[in-house]
Structure 1
């Protein structure tokens, strides 16, 4: 029962982070991660291509407790790719 509660707390935190990141999406992915624009484009391509696998890995790391922020970033990137396209998601 305790593990189930921890799981739901992690999911809540992940969804909360997703909503915060989506609300304040003026942050540039390249500057936030300290990578070049070309590298940011590759990150977006990978997330777009392997979105299901990336989401599963991110959720697993969030449940373990090591990747709630990563899961939030991946979810925001996927949403932005669907809504605005790869070019906008790269500049985010």
Structure 2
């Protein structure tokens, strides 16, 4: 949490986010702690996000509907016009 080297970004992360940002609103919904903001700033991608729904700020964790509702309201988007991409593979 306090060591930025614990976070690994793909080589094309910034370029991909820049390309998406040209056409879409981009947000973060994360179960995390305050260090995430520093990590994203140090990676040079923090300013690309329109909103961040962060568990430590909201007092709830995914899959709580409140986190997703907060993100949708903050970005003024209906759920049907959004895509959620997670970093964990769903196990069935």
User: What TM-score comes out, normalization by structure 1 length?
Assistant: 0.27
Q: Which has the higher contact order (CA 8 A, sep 6+)?
A: 1
Q: Is the helix fraction higher in 1 or 2? A: 1
